Amino acid sequence: MNELEKTVRVWDPLVRIFHWTLVASFAVAYLTEDDLLGPHVWAGYLVGGLILFRVVWGFVGTAHARFSDFVRPPREVIKYLKDVVAFRAQRYLGHNPAGGAMTIALLLSLATTVVTGIAAYGGGEMAGPLAGWLSGIGDESKEALEDIHELFANLTLALIIAHVAGVVLASLQHRESLVRAMFTGLKAKVH
Amino acid sequence: MGTCNTLFGTLAALTFAGTATAAPVDDLLGTYQSQGAGPFSAERGAQAWSAEHRPEGSQARSCTSCHGTDLTRPGKHLRTGKRIEPMAPSVNAARLTDQAKIVKWLHRNCKWTLGRECTPQEKGDFLTYIRSR
Amino acid sequence: MSPRQILIPAAIVATLALAAGLALSDEEFYERVTRDIAPVKNSTYATECGSCHFAYPAGLLPAASWERIMAGLASHFGDNAELPADTAAQIRQYLVADAADRAGIGRSVGFSRYDTARTPPLRITETPYFMAKHHELPRRAVQDNPEVKSLSRCDACHTRSAQGSFSESEIRVPGFGRWDD
């Protein structure tokens, strides 16, 4: 009972399921590439669906899931990052300003990856929802779409690496496991 | 009663055993004979095997185009390059054991090579030749 | 962490894993999800049509193309490929049921496309998808390569084509090696 009083629910079940399903889907998509085209495409569609959900949830979801909770102007993000470097960063229950910026960046990068992927699929494989419009495009266009898709996939991976680094750093600085919090949804009330 | 059954059973077994081991080739040769062909000759079959034809003005063709002249060696499909197992029963025990298969391939390959169905005489000579290898 | 905090996520993961395992153990679903083209499942087709050339899986041509081919076996690309009526019917049924426009798996979708204003292509090598994928190949790799000779010989370079896999990483052109672009 004491434990319940000391913790607060920060991440609702949907946000948590979304987060870890996204991790799994992106991993599948990244690892299958076009060696296993079938699973790659399905993982990509799943990523797309998850992003759509998250955007909606960012407007109508629980307190800390909403964009209004963690999306901050660049000025604040930079100030926060400076505080992190100086080891005096404030602890946040939900996303801190840098985490908030990362969330938006990841959503944008993932969305672009998905859209360019669907386009490359329509042009190069003559399949998927854009096949009707794109199956007649020339070789250079096909290659360009594939290259852009690959670029954003790798950009997303870079963001993920930075994201993990940020999570580890924040966990160390505030002496709490943010990873565990994304599983259980709970964080300590007082710090 | 018992010996009667045993005798009947043995006779039946012998009869069926007989038909089971009778080569499809013999059956077919019998059919060709009833159509007026025969006697059959492996030498004639060998000559016909290498004879060249030009159906519909095509390039010269013969059985050797795909099967080669040595039936103990594998052949190669003229267009696709697909390996064809040797025709000679002495090296390929599966050859000449399936009547439907023999009929099908004689039909197709005569039409392609000669431009027409083979006569019962020609078919009999071919089978006699192949069987001897 | 309380036991509940571990058990609930564990239960969710276990259920998902079980569902995934069950789904993937269904062969048809597994094929639909993983293969580029469904491999040949009809043994009559494999035996009869595979006797002269690579047994092209049905998913490589639209149904209309297969109908044309089965209707013209007496003159099958310069060969006589006639079959007894019941055998031909069986084969036709497999080809049409699993054709590119019916299969709905992997790369079959691409293979199903053709200019509907024209007659359906007879050759896989004349489908827009095939041509788009192969037109950059130099002659010395295919037509002038004695170990390949023709684009019709899928299995000469696509090392796992018999299993329905046409992934680029599996290509080995005889005398050249891997193909990577």
Q: Assign residue B65 the CATH number of its domain.
A: 1.10.760.10
Residue-averaged pLDDT of chain C: 90
Q: Is the pLDDT of residue A47 over 90?
A: yes
Give the Å distances, CA to CA, from A146 to A55, A119, C165, C166: 26, 9, 21, 18
Res. A34: pLDDT tops 50: yes
Percent of chain C having pLDDT more than 90? 61
Contact call for residues B47 and B126 (beta carbons, < 8 A): no
Which of B107, B106, B111 has the alpha carbon at shortest distance from B130? B106
Q: Are C66 and C96 in contact (CB under 8 A)?
A: yes
Taking only the tens place, the pLDDT of each residue in A61-112 is 999 999 999 999 999 999 999 999 999 999 999 999 999 999 999 999 999 9
Contact A34 C168 (CB under 8 A): yes
Please tell me which of the candidates B80, B107, B112 has its beta carbon nearest to residue C153: B80
A47/C111 Cα distance (integer angstroms): 26
Mean pLDDT for the stretch of residues B83-94:
94
- Sorting pLDDT into bands at 50, 70 and 90, what band is A174? very high
pLDDT tens digit sequence for B57-79 = 888 999 999 999 999 999 999 88
Q: Into how many domains does chain B fold?
A: 1
C56-88 exposure pattern, b = at least 16 Cβ within 10 A, e = fewer: bbbbbbbbbbbbebbeebeebeebbbbbeeebb
d(CA A90, CA A109): 27
Partner-chain residue, chosen from A3, A38, A135, that has the shortest CB–CB distance to C105: A38
- Whether residue A1 has pLDDT greater than 50: no
A touches B, CB cut-off 8 Å, minimum 3 pairs: no
CA distance C35 to chain A (A): 7
The percent of residues in chain B predicted with pLDDT above 90, rounded, is 71
Residue of C nearest to A146 (CA): C181
How many CA atoms, within 13 angstroms, populate the side-chain half-sphere of residue C132?
Answer: 23
**pLDDT computed for residue C10 by the predictor:** 81
Over residues C142-147, mean pLDDT: 91
A26-40, B29-43, B115-129, C7-21: least confidently modelled range: C7-21
Whether residue C75 has pLDDT greater than 70: yes
A22, A191 in Cβ contact below 8 A? Answer: no
pLDDT, greater one: A190 or B114 = B114
Is residue A188 helix, strand or coil?
A: strand
Residue range A133-147: mean pLDDT, rounded: 91
Q: Looking at the complex, does the CB of residue C109 fall below 8 Å from at least one CB of chain A?
A: yes
The residue among A38 and B127 whose pLDDT is bigger is B127
Q: What's the confidence (pLDDT) of residue B14? A: 53
Chain C residues inside the 8 Å CB shell of A19: none
Q: Which residue has the tokens 């599983």?
A: A183
pLDDT of residue B15: 52
| DSSP strand pairing (C172-173 vs A186-188) | unpaired
- Residues of C within 8 A of B81 (CB-CB) are 149, 153
Q: Are strands B75-76 and B83-84 parallel, antiparallel or unpaired?
A: antiparallel
Measure in Å the smallest separation between the Cα of B53 and chain C Cα atoms.
Answer: 15
Instruction: Provide residues of C within 8 Å CB-CB of chain B.
Output: 51-54, 74, 77-84, 149-150, 152-153
pLDDT of residue B21: 47
Domain of residue B112: give its range. Answer: 2-131
A184/C1 Cβ within 8 A: yes
Q: What is the DSSP string of A70-129?
A: H---HHHHHHHHHHHHTT-PPP-SS--HHHHHHHHHHHHHHHHHHHHHHHHHHHHSS-ST
Percent over 70 (pLDDT), chain A: 97
The per-residue DSSP string of B12-74 comes to HHHHHHHHHHS-HHHHHHHHHHHTT-----HHHHHHHHH--B-GGG-S-B-THHHH-S-TTS-
Comparing alpha-carbon positions, the chain A residue that sits nearest to C6 is A184
Task: Give the distance between the most distant pair of CA atoms in chain B.
Answer: 71
Given an 8 Å threshold on Cβ–Cβ distance, is B100 in contact with C84? yes
Q: Is residue C20 very low, low, confident or very high in pLDDT (cuts 50, 70, 90)?
A: confident
Task: Tell me the pLDDT of chain A averaged across its residues.
Answer: 93
- pLDDT of res. C1: 59
Please answer yes or no on whether B104 and C84 come within 8 Å at the CB atom: yes
Residues 6+ apart with CB under 8 A from A149: A113, A116, A117, A119, A120
Cβ within 8 Å of residue A39, ≥6 positions away: A28, A32, C33, C34
Nearest to A71 by CA among A112, A111, A105, A48: A105
State which H helix or E strand residue C173 sits in: strand C172-173
Nearest CA in chain A to C108: A127
CB pairs under 8 A between B and C: 31
Of C107, C83, C118, the closest CA to residue C161 belongs to C107
Contacts of C36 in chain A (CB under 8 A): 37-38
Of A3, A35, A127, the CB nearest to C167: A35
Q: What is the pTM of this model?
A: 0.81
pLDDT band at A145 (very low <50, low <70, confident <90, very high): very high
What average pLDDT does the segment A38-67 reach? 96
pLDDT of residue B84: 93
Q: Does B119 touch chain C (CB under 8 A)?
A: no
Q: How far is C8 from chain A (nearest CA, A)?
A: 9
In this prediction, residue C11 carries a pLDDT of: 86
pLDDT for C90: 96
CA nearest A137: which of A115, A152, A121, A150? Answer: A121
pLDDT reported for residue A10: 95
Taking residue A6's Cβ as centre, other Cβ atoms within 10 Å add up to 12
What's chain C's Rg over C-alpha atoms?
A: 21
Question: Looking at residue C6, what is its pLDDT?
Answer: 73
pLDDT at position B2: 57
Interface partners of chain B (CB pairs < 8 Å, 3 or more) are C
The model's confidence at residue B13, banded by pLDDT at 50, 70 and 90, is: low
> SS3 of C79, please?
strand
The confidence score (pLDDT) of residue C106 equals 83
| Single-letter amino acid, residue C53 | H
**Residue B36 predicted with pLDDT over 50:** yes
Which of A38, A126, A139 comes nearest C113 by C-beta?
A: A126
Strand-pair partners of C76: C79
Contacts of B79 in chain C (CB under 8 A): 77-79
Residue B3 has pLDDT above 70, yes or no: no
Structure confidence at residue B18 (pLDDT): 44
The token duo for B51 is 């004879």
pLDDT of B19 above 70? no
Instruction: Name subunits touching C (3+ CB pairs < 8 A).
Output: A, B
